[in-house]
Amino acid sequence: MSPAPPITPPGALPGTLITVAPTGAEANKADVPALPVTLEELLATARDAEAIGASVIHVHIRDEQARPTLDLGRLTETVTALREATSLIVQLSTGGAVTDPEENRLRVLDAAPDAASCSMGTVNFGRDVFLNRWDFIVELHNRMRDSEIVPEYEIFDLGQLTTLQRLLDRHGLPYGEHVHVDLVMGVPGGMPGTAQALVAAVAVLPPGATFAATGVGRTAIPVMLAALSAGGHLRVGMEDTLTYAPGEPVRDNAQLVARAAGIAKIAQRPPMSIANARALLGVRPMVSVA
Ligand code: KMH
Ligand code: ZN
């Protein structure tokens, strides 16, 4: 049997894994009409993002009143619908909104996504607190491995990378045996969205880990450029960015994915195929929904 093809041809620069985070739990539909909050809006967003070069979708959903929800029935329906409509890797948020109790955040895994976020510590989140206790982190990490769900370790501040190393030392590698980190930078209360902070974080990643980065608000572009130049991947979307340029609201998520794909091409690290993204992250093979 011939060996599996390498993820990238020998000598080639690695492509860029682009994650779209289209909705989040913080923005209000009333203030941001372009925010995708219904299933139909989410599916249209997902199809566009896939066509432009995204390979992962980071999903927060809303209820009938466009309020953030972790309702398991809705989450399961969303995962199924995204799989029918696209080939994207479906990553559910276990972060939810700052008000969501731990038990509801753990139950997200029952919707059986390909991947899920796993935040590595408590952080001030504007005027709120995003609470992630050590025991909760351990529970999330272990349940994900038992359910064959690939974690994306969300890092809001430098010390959370120490927590990640401690987690791996004590509880072992995740499902897929690859560690992938997302640096969420520029949150008011977390690390700044600067090249210097990104370089400091990359220096203390666990050995062999890959990383993506996103810069919240006006830090989006500095973080994107720093991540590309440091060999990292990108997360973009209206969860993190609502202003495209000073005084110019984001038109839609496709506009942000297109900008990331364009800059990645200029950096000679074009968007990675979904097949390569699955191989990189160690996500389960596509389940047929025919
Ligand atoms: N909405 C934030 C409080 C995640 O998705 O895992 C948490 C968050 C992180 O968005
Ligand atoms: Zn999120």
Domains delineated in the chain: 18-281 (3.20.20.70)
Q: pTM for this structure?
A: 0.95
pLDDT tens-place string over residues 26-79: 999 999 999 999 999 999 999 999 999 999 999 999 999 999 999 999 999 999
288 falls in which pLDDT band (50, 70, 90)? low
Structure tokens at 283: 């996500």
**What pLDDT is stored for residue 196 in this prediction?**
98
Q: C-alpha angle 57/95/33, rounded to 5°? A: 60
pLDDT tens-place string over residues 126-136: 999 999 999 99
Q: Whose CA is nearest to atom 7 of ligand 1?
A: 95
Start-to-end CA span in the chain (Å)? 29
Q: What number does the ligand 1 atom closest to the CA of 118 have?
A: 6
Mutation to probe ligand 1, out of 56, 100, 117, 125 (largest number of atoms < 8 A from CB):
117
Instruction: Decide: 23 in ligand 1 pocket, CB within 6 A.
Output: no
Helix (H, G, I), strand (E, B), or coil: what is residue 146?
helix
Instruction: Decide: 93 in ligand 1 pocket, CB within 6 A.
Output: yes
Question: CB within 5 A of ion ligand 2: which residues?
Answer: 93
Is the pLDDT at 289 greater than 70? The verdict is no
Is the pLDDT at 253 greater than 90? The verdict is yes
Dihedral, CA of residue 75, residue 80, residue 85 and residue 89, to nearest 10? 80
Ligand 1 centroid–CA 13 distance in Å is: 31
Is the pLDDT at 284 greater than 90? The verdict is no
Q: Exposure of 262 by Cβ count < 10 A (0-12 exposed, 13-18 middle, 19+ buried)? A: middle
